[in-house]
Structures are given as C-alpha cells and as structure tokens.
C-alpha cells in the first residue's frame, strides 16, 4: 500500500499522543511533521515522553508547516478555536483534513464543505472516532422512529472545553432526521433552577456531565408507556478512538467530498 504522509496537529494532547503512536505503528503511514502552540523549531523527539523515532519538526504556524512539508493528510486533534482554521488552511494547501476536534459551527462546516467542492478534495470531520460510539448513534436513530421521547446524557472528563459534546449534538441531529419536533415533559414545566432540564434541541434535552475520572461516555434514554430503552457507549481510554482515525485517514485519500460523521463512511 502506498505511503500516506501525515501531519498531526495537537501532538501533546492525550488524543494527539495516541494518534502519533498510531501513525508510527502503521506501516503505510508516515509522520511528516506536527503542529503545536509551543516549541516552534524543535523536534518532537526532543520532548519528554517521545522516542527518538519521532524525529519530525514541530511548527507553531500551520501555514508555515504546510508550505515546508509535503503531506497528504492533516489529523487535527486540537481545540474548537484552532480546528476550523487548521482544516481550512489544509484544504487551501491541497491537504485532506481528518478532524476529531468538536465545536464547529454550522457556518464553519458549510464553509469547509464548499471548499472541498472547489478543491475537489476529501475532508472528514468526526465528532467521535470510536466505532462503538458511531453504532450507538445509529441504533439511537433507529429507536427514535418508534420512541420519540428521548433525552441524551453525555459524560466527559473535566478538561473538555465544549458542551454539549460533538457526539451529543450529532446524535440529536441524526435523531431529528427521523423524529418530528416534539417538546417533552409537562406543558407547564418550569425550571426552578436555570438549566435543570439541560439544552433543548427540537424538544429533546441534552445533559452534559464533566467529572475527573471520566473519558467519553454517552447514554440515550427513550421512554414510552410502561417501558424505557437505554443505549449507551463508554470509552475507557483514548486508544478506543484510533481504529476510527485509521479508517478515516485511509478513506479520505479515496474521496473528494466533505463528510461529517464517521457513520457516513462505515459500511
């Protein structure tokens, strides 16, 4: 299989470290460089916790990195502030983005989709790379056809920057595609504490939990007369996301379209 040259943005984060390991341990992947907000001009192997094998340059400027390094794919695992800029800049330099960063606005997603069409390049944005999480979203969409009363509870570590999670929003979007908007709860319901019922998405409620000790967890609860269904997924470590990252990198090289959600590339 032909080598795929990869840049990783966010190599010192917990997800980024797993992505570096993935690339270094996949025969047809080649790590070309990394993008970080610190250590410009240093080598990744100079940093604590990295082996001599990851002897690739660190750039703090995505533009300079893409000008200096020949790459096929950018894996972005950064922040909601940096991710959209990185993805757009990659496409402008004919590099295909694979993005796990969440918090994109609808306007930012539309801009990237239009840029993909103009450049005839693939781009995959996945709110969750865990294949089990993708199945959880698909199963939830199936259930929503028969159980329109639903609440989403997402639980993440206390270092997560956005709420609700991209996975929760994507789940709500998928459910909304098959569910008529419906306001749930008592029609005269009143919050005695603001936010007690969570965020409202077409009448569904999304609740965000942030606690140390958690990684990434979500349950989707459906209710009907005399019965409930709970569909739940748990990621206990960040290695659980890497199988999806690998599939996304391999797939984006074969596509010239914008894809939002890993479920759209899994057969």
Those residues whose C-beta lies under 8 Å from the C-beta of residue 83, and which sit 6 or more positions away, are 9, 76, 99, 101, 103, 104
Check if 190 is active-site.
Answer: no
Check if 233 is active-site.
Answer: no
User: Which residue out of 86, 156, 205, 207 is catalytically annotated?
Assistant: 156
User: Which residue out of 85, 119, 157, 160 is catalytically annotated?
Assistant: 160
- Check if the beta carbon of residue 96 is closer than 8 Å to that of residue 72: yes
Radius of gyration of the chain (CA): 20
Instruction: Pick the closest to residue 230 from 121, 164, 152 (CA basis).
Output: 152
Residues composing the chain: 267
Interatomic CA distance for residues 34 and 105, integer angstroms: 25
DSSP one-letter code for 106: H
The CA angle 243-118-90, to the nearest 5 degrees, is 45
What positions carry a catalytic annotation? 156, 160
């Amino acid at each position: 299989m032909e080598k795929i040259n990869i840049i990783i943005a966010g190599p010192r984060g917990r997800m980024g470290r797993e992505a570096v390991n993935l690339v270094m341990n996949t025969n047809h992947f080649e790590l070309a460089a990394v993008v970080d907000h610190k250590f410009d001009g240093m080598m990744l192997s100079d940093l604590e916790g990295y082996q001599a094998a990851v002897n690739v340059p660190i750039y703090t400027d995505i533009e300079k990195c893409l000008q200096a390094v020949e790459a096929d794919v950018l894996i972005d695992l950064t922040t909601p502030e940096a991710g959209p800029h990185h993805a757009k800049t990659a496409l402008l330099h004919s590099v295909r983005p694979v993005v796990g960063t969440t918090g994109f606005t609808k306007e930012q997603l539309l801009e990237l989709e239009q840029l993909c069409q103009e450049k005839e390049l693939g781009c995959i944005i996945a709110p969750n790379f865990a294949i089990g999480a993708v199945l959880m979203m698909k199963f939830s969409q199936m259930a929503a056809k028969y159980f329109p009363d639903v609440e989403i509870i997402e639980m993440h570590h206390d270092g997560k920057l956005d709420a609700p999670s991209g996975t929760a929003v994507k789940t709500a979007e998928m459910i909304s595609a098959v569910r008529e908007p419906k306001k749930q709860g008592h029609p005269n319901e009143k919050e005695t504490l603001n936010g007690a019922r969570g965020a409202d998405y077409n009448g569904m409620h999304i609740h965000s939990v942030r606690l140390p000790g958690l990684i990434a967890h979500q349950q989707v609860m459906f209710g009907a007369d005399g019965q409930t269904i709970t569909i739940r997924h748990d990621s206990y470590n960040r290695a659980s996301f890497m199988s999806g990252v690998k599939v996304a990198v391999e797939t984006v090289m074969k596509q010239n379209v914008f894809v939002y959600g890993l479920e759209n590339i899994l057969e």
